């Protein structure tokens, strides 16, 4: 569940809002503060999902609090509470990333729809970040194996979705995050040391475009090519070779093959299916069944011995798989060959 922070210098208002929000039943934690300075310390140390702040408060008012939240890039949704005379302040807060404002006094009729909106925005952001992480994983692995076609496809996907943002500041932050995560993953492999040119100083005086980001990715591929004497890793060839060498091992799994190639199982599964038009499991089964057919054609081979030789742990399991693949049981298949 979500967490919310209420900031209002009138304790009775803070208590009243806390009761309304508690009855809303969608926040696991509700904390209140009577000044912006104390609230900011808490928000910085433990960012809540939503902040509701009054405009006029001692020590640090709501306007200053909103400015700090935006400046620190705290991913918190902010709702401003204001009286009728504070409308100009509320408008100013909007320039600091505030999503909504509410006029006092507040009832559940006005409050709950706004909370619905804030939580919907939070959930959308969580989904977006999950997509971003998955995209980074796939892009890093495509870079590592120097699959330029896959890299281009992922970069185009990112341009249309993940990096389609509202402001240059958001684009800069998203690109900076992508570069940082990609470098961390590439360098964690411990084989080559990759670096990126400084796109921005601490004040973000140097902007980076998405086109600049794409160019940097291609530079990394060029460096990897130089490190490897311009020899591209042929993932499919390496995978097929490893599978063929261990085809009849009972423990041959997708995870094992992916680990041998230094790839995640998810990426390897997608890559293998894309380039062979069959899943890893389908490929493994087909190769094992082909070998079983060859052995079944040799009269002196006992079926029970063939089971273990083609990588199956039990006769019933092998029989089910063989019949599903061929339409015949091993015994029936031998009968078709004229072998009793």
Mean pLDDT of 101-127: 80
Predicted structure pTM score? 0.47
pLDDT for res 126: 60
Classify domain 235-336 at the CATH superfamily level.
Homeodomain-like (1.10.10.60)
Mean pLDDT of 44-62: 86
Q: Is the pLDDT of residue 203 over 50?
A: no
Give the range among 9-13, 134-138, 263-267, 328-332 with minimum mean pLDDT: 263-267
Mean pLDDT of 87-105: 75
Q: Give the confidence band of 51 by pLDDT, cuts at 50, 70, 90.
A: very high
Q: Is the pLDDT of residue 339 over 50?
A: yes
**What's the number of CA atoms in the CB half-sphere (13 Å) around residue 182?**
27
pLDDT for res 191: 63
Q: State pLDDT tens for residues 276-308.
A: 899 998 999 998 999 999 898 888 888 888 888
Count of C-beta atoms within a 10 Å radius of residue 224: 20
The sign of the dihedral angle between the CA atoms of 65, 66, 67, 71 is positive
Q: Which residue would you say has higher pLDDT here, 80 or 204?
A: 80
Q: Is the pLDDT of residue 206 over 70?
A: no
Percent of the chain with pLDDT over 70: 87
Q: State pLDDT tens for residues 5-45.
A: 999 988 888 899 999 999 888 888 999 998 888 889 899 88
Q: Is the pLDDT of residue 182 over 60?
A: yes
Q: Is the pLDDT of residue 172 over 50?
A: yes
Q: State pLDDT tens for residues 211-270.
A: 888 888 988 888 888 877 766 667 777 888 888 888 888 788 898 888 877 788 888 888
Is residue 52 within 8 A of residue 6, CB to CB? The reply is: yes
Pick the CATH number of 2-106 from 3.30.1490.20, 3.40.50.2300, 4.10.640.10, 3.90.1310.10: 3.40.50.2300
In the chain, what are the domain boundaries? Answer: 2-106, 124-227, 235-336
């Amino acid at each position: 569940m979500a967490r919310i922070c209420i900031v209002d210098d009138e304790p009775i208002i803070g208590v009243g809002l806390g009761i309304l929000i508690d009855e809303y039943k969608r926040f696991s934690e509700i904390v209140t503060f009577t000044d912006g300075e104390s609230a900011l310390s808490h928000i910085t140390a433990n960012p809540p999902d939503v902040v509701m702040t009054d405009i006029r408060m001692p020590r640090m008012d709501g306007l200053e609090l909103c400015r700090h939240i935006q400046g620190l890039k705290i991913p918190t949704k902010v709702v401003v509470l204001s009286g009728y005379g504070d409308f100009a302040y509320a408008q100013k807060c909007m320039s600091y990333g505030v999503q909504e404002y509410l006029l006092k006094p507040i009832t559940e009729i006005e409050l709950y729809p706004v909370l619905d909106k804030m939580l919907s925005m939070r959930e959308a952001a969580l989904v977006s970040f999950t997509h971003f992480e998955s995209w980074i994983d796939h892009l890093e692995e495509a870079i590592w194996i120097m699959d330029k076609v896959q890299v281009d496809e992922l970069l185009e996907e990112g341009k249309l979705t993940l990096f389609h943002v509202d402001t240059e500041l958001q684009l800069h932050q998203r690109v900076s995050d992508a570069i940082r995560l990609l470098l961390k993953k590439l360098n964690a492999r411990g084989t080559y040391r990759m670096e990126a040119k400084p796109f921005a100083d601490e004040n973000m005086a140097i902007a980076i475009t998405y086109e600049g980001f794409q160019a940097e990715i291609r530079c990394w591929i060029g460096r990897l090519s130089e490190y490897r004497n311009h020899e591209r890793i042929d993932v499919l060839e390496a995978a097929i070779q490893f599978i063929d060498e261990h085809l009849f091992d009972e423990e041959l799994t997708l995870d094992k093959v992916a680990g041998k190639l230094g790839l995640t199982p998810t990426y390897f599964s997608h890559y293998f299916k894309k380039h062979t038009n069959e899943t890893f499991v389908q490929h493994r089964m087909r190769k094992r069944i082909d070998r079983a057919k060859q052995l079944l054609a040799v009269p002196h081979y006992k079926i029970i011995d063939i089971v273990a030789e083609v990588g199956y742990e039990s006769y019933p399991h092998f029989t089910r798989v063989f019949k599903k693949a061929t339409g015949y049981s091993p015994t029936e298949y031998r009968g078709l060959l004229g072998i009793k």
